[in-house]
Amino acid sequence: MLKNIGKYLGIGFLFGLGFVLAGYIVIFVFEKAVKSNHMPYKQQVDERKTKYLKDLISNIESKGRDLCKDIQGTWVGEFVEEGGAYIRSWELTYNTDGTMEGIFVNKSITEEITEHQKGNWSCYHSILFTDVIVDGDTRRRWNYLLLHSDNNERIYAHIGEHTVENVYRTFRKK
């Protein structure tokens, strides 16, 4: 009987040791994978979306007019949603060196929120790419399809995850 107890204790000890070793290996591999990943997952997804969009655009024949020129300057606009319940207004400055900064004001019946944005922009085949920091801590990327552009007016559509979303109209600040 003492022999059987010793046998069961030995087997139990080996199983316990095996579980501890397996847990250590899983944790070690997971930590190594996380440490090798310098960007948070959300940013990796954004990078892949942006790369996909740029690759898609590079394959499009550029027979049409490229609306990327003359974006530099300060632009103002307003977008009304849900019959006036929400109003978004903005003033954005696109600098010639590819930097941008601006203010967005989001108004509703109950509150008004002001966001300060600073970041970079680029434009390629009538697609405007923006990469900004909102209020100094939140990174956002927005892409827009330029539909119309002249010296004082620009109409563009926000490119969402799976579709072209809201259409905006903005004017050059005088």
**Residue 49 counted as domain residue:** no
Q: What tens-digit pLDDT sequence spans the chain (174 residues)? A: 667 777 766 777 676 767 666 666 767 666 665 555 555 555 565 676 666 666 555 554 444 667 888 889 999 999 888 777 889 999 999 999 999 999 999 999 899 999 999 999 999 888 899 999 999 889 999 898 888 877 789 888 888 776 667 888 888 987
**Residue 52 counted as domain residue:** no
Residue with tokens 């944005």: 117
**Residue 21 counted as domain residue:** yes
- Which residue range forms the structural domain that includes residue 142? 64-172
**Residue 51 counted as domain residue:** no
**How many domains is the chain partitioned into structurally?**
2
Distances (CA, A) of 9 to 5, 18, 22, 23, 133: 6, 14, 20, 21, 59
pLDDT digits (tens, 9 = 90+) for 9-33: 677 767 676 766 666 676 766 666 5
**Residue 89 counted as domain residue:** yes
| Predicted pLDDT of residue 38 | 53
pLDDT digits (tens, 9 = 90+) for 62-72: 446 678 888 89
Query: For residue 52, which amino acid is it?
Result: Y
Are residues 34 and 70 located together in one domain of the fold? no
Are residues 32 and 79 located together in one domain of the fold? no
What CATH number is associated with residue 151? 2.40.128.20
**Residue 50 counted as domain residue:** no
